[in-house]
Structure 1
Amino acid sequence: MEIVLAVAIGALTSCGVWLLLRPRTYQVIMGLSLLSYGVNLFIFSMGRLAVDSEPMVSPGVPATLLRYADPMPQALVLTAIVIGFAMTALFLVLLLAQRGFFGNDHVDGVGDAE
């Protein structure tokens, strides 16, 4: 399971960085989204991969880290998902504004060899 998660994190991160280096604005936005998904998986995996573990402490059960999942990475990832959604919406509006002003969607505002 750890290998699958590590490969998924590596694939999302590498594809996100590759798309960030592309010249078109939409590809940069998709690269930021993929990169944020990779970082979210990485943060989520820092809370240990535990199956059938409760995130909250139950009364009568000793509070050791072997019995419970860490709730902090879950809270961080949930917050990052909300912030990432708002960031993507903002960048899509900026993409549409740039396309209206310049007539193309290149990051530097210069079109193909014209």
Structure 2
Amino acid sequence: MELLIATGIGVLTAAGIYLTLRLRSFPVVLGLALLSYAVNLFLFSTGRLVTGAPPILSKDAAAYTDPLPQALVLTAIVISFGMSALLVMLALGSYLEGRDDGVEGDGAEDAPEATSGEAR
């Protein structure tokens, strides 16, 4: 079970980083969403993967599940939803303003080219 969760976290993280490095705003939004899913899975798995155990210690329970990672994941879901909504609105505003959702390059092609006869 731990290997499956670790593999899932790794795949989500790799896909999220790959999409975040794209030159379009929509894949960046998707990449950040995948990264937030990976963080949620990681936080959830820190509370030990126990099935069938109650979330709160009771007198008749032999084992219990730690409720803190569950609360952290719920908080992270709310924060990532707000962050995704903000990023979508920023990407939409950028697209509507420039009619293109592409990200400019490193600035080398944006700078004016100097000719050999031109003095600075």
Distance 2:74 2:103 in 1: 30
Instruction: Give TM-score scaled by structure 2 length.
Output: 0.82
The TM-score normalised by the length of structure 1 is 0.86
Runs of 5+ unmatched residues, structure 2: 106-120
Cα deviation for residue 106 of structure 1 reads 1.4
Where does 1:1-114 land on structure 2 (aligned, <5 Å)? Answer: 1-58=1-58, 60-61=59-60, 67-108=63-104
SS of the aligned residue for 1:106 comes to coil
The alignment yields a C-alpha RMSD, in angstroms, of: 1.5
3-state DSSP of counterpart to 1:72: helix
Cα deviation code 1:12-34 (max 9, x no counterpart): 00000000100000000000000
Partner in structure 2 of residue 112 of structure 1? none
Return structure 1 stretches of 4+ with deviation > 4 angstroms: none
Shift of 1:108: 3.1
| Overall identity of the aligned pairs, in % | 50
Aligned length in residues: 105
